Amino acid sequence: MPRALPDTEFFRRTLPDYLAVLLVERGLAANSVAAYRRDLEEFGAWVARRGKDAVTCERSDLRRYLTDLRGRGLAARSAARALAALRGLYRYLVERGLAAHDPTLDLESPKLMRSLPRFLTDREIESLLDAPDVAKPLGLRDRAMLETLYATGVRVSELVGLDLNQLRLDPGYVRVWGKGSKERIVPVGSQARAWLARYLESARPHLDRSRDEKLFLTIRGHGMTRECFWQLIKRYGRAAGITSHLSPHVLRHSFATHLLEHGADLRAVQAMLGHADISTTEIYTHVTRERLRALYDSKHPRA
């Protein structure tokens, strides 16, 4: 059986070698390695205070350590990262014969609470869509982009990546290439189609300086970028009086939430969003239940 080093000697001798492996052989970023160092040094201090040896720790010791972390107010995500650091360390020790067993095997990761997605109210959506000055070509483009984003729920990368030939105004749909190059067909509502038609007829010809095939063009005639659109939506959010954090993804969340609130089928929303797993879409059902509860509490006389 491998000799168990005293804890302080173990961390002085072994931890630098392990971190070097992470940095050089496995190519982890310096910031990630620094985070691993902090997590593992904290674990080493915890072990030392209890007169134990890191090499011979059992699963029950690690479970108690994770419980202590959560008891001190550490978020579940941070505790999960600390466990990931321990898994890597013990795998390294077993591979090199420095430990007889891996106590992290079958050790459950702390439950991560999924935060509910931020979305806009109907009134906020209307204010945001009305913010661009549609008398100008760029304002008309921006209105068409915002309408398309809210009407389809596409990701911002999918929106700015749209080519002209992916849009079908007459039948009213857009063909989207999502994650993993998976294709999906998403309907486009009548109002978004109307604004897209106006943009294509009155604004895009003024922007089309380089015969770019992208649907949405910048003032230089090239395809819109994610970064540029992020800045645009923040600016229009301020103009619309929206004080909370606003991003293109908030409109995607609003699209899904509003559809479900009005009775859309969960599977249909999953297909339109391009989610591979229905559990990802189910987060929006929690949002609608919370809103229903709030409505009940505010309106029912015996709530």
pLDDT range class, residue 30, cuts 50, 70, 90: confident
Q: Does residue 60 share a domain with residue 170?
A: no
Give the residue from 234, 271, 283 showing the smallest Cα distance to 153. 271
CATH of the domain at 191: 1.10.443.10
pLDDT tens digits for range 280-302: 888 888 777 766 666 667 766 76
Q: What is the pTM of this model?
A: 0.63
Asked whether residue 108 is domain-assigned, the answer is: no
Catalytic positions are 155, 179, 249, 252, 275, 284
Q: Does residue 126 share a domain with residue 84?
A: no
Asked whether residue 114 is domain-assigned, the answer is: no
Are the C-beta atoms of residues 120 and 254 closer than 8 Å to each other? yes
Q: Does residue 131 share a domain with residue 75?
A: no
Asked whether residue 113 is domain-assigned, the answer is: no
Higher pLDDT, 108 or 128: 128
Structural domain span for residue 38: 7-95
Q: Does residue 135 share a domain with residue 49?
A: no
Per-residue H/E/C for 261-300? HCCCCHHHHHHHHCCCCHHHHCHHHHHHHHHHHHHHHHHC
Asked whether residue 191 is domain-assigned, the answer is: yes
Q: Does residue 75 share a domain with residue 150?
A: no
Helix (H, G, I), strand (E, B) or coil at 188: coil
Q: Does residue 239 share a domain with residue 147?
A: yes
Mean pLDDT check: name the lowest of 10-19, 74-83, 112-121. Answer: 112-121
Are the C-beta atoms of residues 99 and 7 closer than 8 Å to each other? no
Number of compact structural domains in the chain: 2
- Checking phi first, is residue 275 left (phi over 0); if not, alpha (psi -120 to 50) or beta? beta
Domain boundary (57, 80, 95) is at 95
